[in-house]
A and B are shown apart, each in its own frame.
Chain A
Amino acid sequence: MEFLNNVFVAPFQDMAAAPDFFMQVVWEGLVSGVLYALIALGFVLIYKSSRIFNFAQGIMVVFAALTLVGLHEMGVPALLAVPLTLGVMFLLAVAIERVVLRPLVNQPDIILFMATIGITLFLIGFGEMIFGGENKVMITEQLGIPTGSFEFEPFGGFLLIEQKDLTAVVGAGVLVLVLLLFLNRSKMGRAIRALGDDHQAALSVGISLSTIWVLVWFIAGIIALATGIVWGARAGVSFALEVIAYKALPVLMLGGLESVTGAIVGGLAIGVLEKLFEIYWGQPLLGGNTETWFAFVFALIVLLFRPQGLFGEKIIERV
């Protein structure tokens, strides 16, 4: 009886008893969710256009953030370092297309996936050789990102919203909006979606595979830079940022690998739900640290009912 009370009653009583704390939990979950969605978007875009599961997305986040900070350390003004970093990410996209992907056209998906593991290992070594492995401080203030906080007193309690988190949420929202407009309204965006729908048909109408691959890897690079700035502002820039990419895996399982909407909704849902579960069920009943597995279990439960994910395409293959 006590167990049932702890699972089904006490958590909701706690939420009602301290609504300011509940709001803080939801806000923190939302911020995490936005960040998960950003990483997942990088995976989705590349998968959508080329059926490649990009294992290198995590290290691209590290590489982009390190390049930005490294350029600034070399004396480049922060606002100039951003376009220069984007230039580096563009060159990286071109290099990946030329050196890795082009020679592997028409190879099985698993070969391309393995190639992205190779890209990961190369970027780890290359990045460490150039930037070293030590912690670096993200140039948050130099980029004009506010570092203060807003404090509210809802229900007589205390709610703190950091301005950099708010900037991250707004910035990520704008980035996603621009991306959606680009994908749905621009010629190139439609070409990316066409390639995702049917490679052969897209090629037959003159869409250049190599151009689109460079483009999507570059967009993934832009997303990586945005993710790197936001995460780096929280706890510094180091190779540890790479592990956050794994947080996107359950988001992809939940949202579907091909769906931009799925990445966004999946990211937000997992961000908020894992935080609520950890605070109100995980810590009191399971000793905490449920965030390491909750998202996977949640995604698996969803997959039991929708194997293609919430927004994935139901593919029927006839033989």
Chain B
Amino acid sequence: MKTYLKTAMLGAALGLGTMVAMPAANAEDTIYAPNLSYRTGPFAATGIPLMNGQRDYIMMLNERDGGINGVKIEYDECETGYSTEKGVECYEKTKSKAVVTQPWSTGITLQVLPKTNVDKIPILAPGYGFSPMANGKVFQWAFNPPASYWDGASMMLNYVSDGDLDTLKGKKIALLHLDHPFGKEPIPLFEAMADKHGFEFLPIPVGLKEMQNQSAQWLQIRREKPDYVLMWGWGAMNAGAITEAVKTRYPMDQFIGIWWSGHDGDLKTVGDKGKGYKSISWSVPVADAPVMADIKKYVVDPGNSLMEDPADINSVFYQRGILISMILAEGIRGAQEHFDTKNVNAEQLRWGLENLKIDDDRIAELGMTGMIAPFSTSCADHTGHAGGWILEWDGSKFAPASDKLTADADAIAVLEEVKAMEYAEANKPWPINEECNM
């Protein structure tokens, strides 16, 4: 009986392993790109569609093109459950042959940030992580394209002020945020903007254990009557907040979430009651984009996707996962061409990520027109500061509800410089890229 149980458990474990990892043809013919994923735990609902999108884009490249320039990508997930400790374990476990690390939480990013200087592995954290990572001179190994949390915060303020932040003078803006490094990330920018433009900034933290019972936070919102509520929520916090907003009768058109708070799965919990809720997003789902047709043809239709519901193919997070893998793939492609080699290593990929040129033409070639704004990176700018759009929940799906928005680049650059240098000073000796003259 015991032997049977052990065999069954081993079989199940192996089965699960092969479901998520993709087959490696031959180690020498592949580029190993691990993903520190979270398909389990309290934040799984957010992670699953993102990881599915990331995995399916790589799988499509492998099936359609035989990989990138003939080299297959070995996509491998290491499950963290969004736990910082497990994330660090996953980093250590995968780093020996990885060309990149995708830490998938601001907490994990902050932990592995100093390690990557030593291990010389680029961190790719698209749309998350530590906003000052944009400063490539200080954070040589960290990349967070196409937009940082500070970009998101700035675009939100631009949207609510119609581009004139001085009109916010005397107004009250609340930030409902997860009490976690991710949720606290935009606070320095909001504080700086509040000082500069004269609005009142009110941070309202939500503890991990209170994500599904935010009555105290929404009672505070009822009492304080902020003009706008901006949200930095993740996982179950989003549905909890929107439920309470409906209950409190807070006007949905004054409630805007960051891009991780714009998940179809969370909004389905409230359905019609969430109509009008908005989210800033650096990605837009485009159902008829050519890349989606290829993903359907090469991955979904043959039954190789892990998506439970085929309708999720048009969800915001699934398509954002695709864009995240596209950024990685473009970095690899650029490095291959620059170094004239097929099997790029981590240092070469660092160059690739530092020289991304995702312009309109390239976006069209990739079959992604309308899904992402053009951007480019450099040795000084590891973010690219692409713009974004406001997406609005119409009761059943998110749809674009604004023209393209851009962040206040000047204000952000000053803060990035200050905070990056503060970080380097606090963690000295910290290597600075003196060769970068931009």
**A and B associate in one complex:** yes
* A contact set with B: CB distance below 8 Å: 18, 21, 24-25, 28, 31-32, 35, 124, 128-129, 132-135, 137, 149, 160, 162, 231, 234-236, 238-244, 246-247, 275, 278-279, 283, 287-289, 291-292
Report the Cα distance A239→B208, complex, angstroms.
Answer: 13
Which single member of B42, B206, B222, B247 contacts A239 (CB below 8 Å)?
B42
**Which chain B residues lie closer than 8 Å to A231 at the CB level?**
212-213
Question: Is A21 within 8 A of B223, CB to CB?
Answer: yes
Residue in B40, B240, B269 whose Cβ sees the most chain A Cβ within 10 Å? B269
Minimum distance in angstroms from B224 CB to a CB of chain A: 9
Report the Cα distance A18→B224, complex, angstroms.
Answer: 13
Report the Cα distance A32→B40, complex, angstroms.
Answer: 26
Q: Does B39 contact A (CB under 8 A)?
A: yes
Q: How many residues of B contact A (CB 8 A)?
A: 44
Per-residue CB contact flags for chain B residues 206-227 toward chain A (1 = under 8 Å, else 0) read 1111111101110110110000
B28-36, B43-51, B397-405 - interface stretch: B43-51
Question: Is A133 within 8 A of B204, CB to CB?
Answer: no
* Contact A288 B268, CB 8 Å, known A133-B48, A236-B236, A236-B239: no
**Which chain A residues lie closer than 8 Å to B49 at the CB level?**
134
Task: List 6 other contacts, CB 8 Å, given A134-B48, A135-B269, A235-B269.
Answer: A24-B222, A28-B216, A133-B41, A243-B42, A279-B223, A291-B216
Minimum distance in angstroms from B39 CB to a CB of chain A: 6
* Contact A21 B222, CB 8 Å, known A134-B44, A234-B212, A240-B212: yes
Question: Is B266 within 8 A of A32, CB to CB?
Answer: no
Report the Cα distance A289→B43, complex, angstroms.
Answer: 20
* Contact A291 B266, CB 8 Å, known A28-B219, A124-B40, A240-B43: no
Q: Does B102 contact A (CB under 8 A)?
A: no
Q: Does B179 contact A (CB under 8 A)?
A: yes
* B contact set with A: CB distance below 8 Å: 12, 16, 39-45, 47-49, 179, 203-213, 215-217, 219-220, 222-223, 235-236, 239-240, 243, 247, 249, 265-266, 268-269, 271, 308
* Contact A135 B239, CB 8 Å, known A235-B211, A242-B42, A243-B209: yes
Which single member of B40, B206, B210 contacts A133 (CB below 8 Å)?
B40
**Which chain B residues lie closer than 8 Å to A18 at the CB level?**
223
7 tightest Cβ-Cβ pairs between the two chains A and B: A133-B44, A240-B236, A240-B42, A236-B269, A235-B240, A292-B207, A135-B45
The SS class assigned to the B binding surface is helix
Minimum distance in angstroms from A226 CB to a CB of chain B: 16
**Which chain B residues lie closer than 8 Å to A291 at the CB level?**
207, 209-210, 216
Question: Is B219 within 8 A of A25, CB to CB?
Answer: yes
Question: Is B210 within 8 A of A289, CB to CB?
Answer: yes
**Which chain B residues lie closer than 8 Å to A242 at the CB level?**
42
Question: Is B239 within 8 A of A134, CB to CB?
Answer: no
The SS class assigned to the A binding surface is helix
**Which chain B residues lie closer than 8 Å to A278 at the CB level?**
216
Minimum distance in angstroms from A57 CB to a CB of chain B: 15
* Contact A238 B240, CB 8 Å, known A160-B247, A289-B207, A292-B209: no
Report the Cα distance A23→B222, complex, angstroms.
Answer: 13
Which single member of A32, A137, A288 contacts B220 (CB below 8 Å)?
A288
Question: Is A32 within 8 A of B213, CB to CB?
Answer: yes
Report the Cα distance A283→B218, complex, angstroms.
Answer: 12
Minimum distance in angstroms from A237 CB to a CB of chain B: 9
Report the Cα distance A31→B218, complex, angstroms.
Answer: 15
Compute the total of residue contacts between A and B using a CB distance below 8 Å: 128
Which single member of A24, A235, A243 contacts B208 (CB below 8 Å)?
A243
Report the Cα distance A149→B240, complex, angstroms.
Answer: 18
Question: Is B44 within 8 A of A275, CB to CB?
Answer: no
Report the Cα distance A263→B248, complex, angstroms.
Answer: 30
**Which chain B residues lie closer than 8 Å to A238 at the CB level?**
42, 44-45, 235-236
Report the Cα distance A67→B110, complex, angstroms.
Answer: 37
Question: Is B219 within 8 A of A279, CB to CB?
Answer: yes
28 A-B pairs whose Cβ atoms sit less than 8 Å apart in the complex: A24-B219, A28-B215, A28-B216, A32-B215, A128-B39, A128-B40, A133-B40, A133-B41, A134-B44, A134-B45, A134-B48, A134-B49, A231-B212, A234-B212, A235-B211, A235-B212, A235-B236, A235-B240, A235-B269, A236-B239, A238-B236, A242-B42, A243-B42, A247-B209, A275-B216, A279-B219, A279-B220, A288-B203
**Which chain A residues lie closer than 8 Å to B308 at the CB level?**
132, 134
**Which chain B residues lie closer than 8 Å to A287 at the CB level?**
203, 205
Report the Cα distance A149→B243, complex, angstroms.
Answer: 13
Question: Is A289 within 8 A of B205, CB to CB?
Answer: yes
* Contact A289 B212, CB 8 Å, known A124-B40, A135-B45: no
**Which chain A residues lie closer than 8 Å to B209 at the CB level?**
243-244, 246-247, 291-292
Report the Cα distance A21→B240, complex, angstroms.
Answer: 21
Chain A minimum-CB-distance residue to B268:
A137
**Which chain A residues lie closer than 8 Å to B43 at the CB level?**
240
**Which chain B residues lie closer than 8 Å to A247 at the CB level?**
209
**Which chain A residues lie closer than 8 Å to B44 at the CB level?**
128, 133-134, 238-239
Question: Is A239 within 8 A of B40, CB to CB?
Answer: yes
Minimum distance in angstroms from B262 CB to a CB of chain A: 14
Minimum distance in angstroms from B309 CB to a CB of chain A: 9
Question: Is A135 within 8 A of B268, CB to CB?
Answer: yes
Question: Is A240 within 8 A of B220, CB to CB?
Answer: no
Report the Cα distance A137→B239, complex, angstroms.
Answer: 10
**Which chain B residues lie closer than 8 Å to A137 at the CB level?**
268-269, 271
Minimum distance in angstroms from B96 CB to a CB of chain A: 27
Question: Is B213 within 8 A of A234, CB to CB?
Answer: yes
Report the Cα distance A283→B216, complex, angstroms.
Answer: 9
Report the Cα distance A129→B40, complex, angstroms.
Answer: 10
Report the Cα distance A132→B312, complex, angstroms.
Answer: 14
Report the Cα distance A231→B209, complex, angstroms.
Answer: 13
**Which chain A residues lie closer than 8 Å to B47 at the CB level?**
133
Question: Is B243 within 8 A of A235, CB to CB?
Answer: yes
Report the Cα distance A283→B210, complex, angstroms.
Answer: 15
Minimum distance in angstroms from B244 CB to a CB of chain A: 8
Question: Is B215 within 8 A of A162, CB to CB?
Answer: no
Report the Cα distance A132→B51, complex, angstroms.
Answer: 14
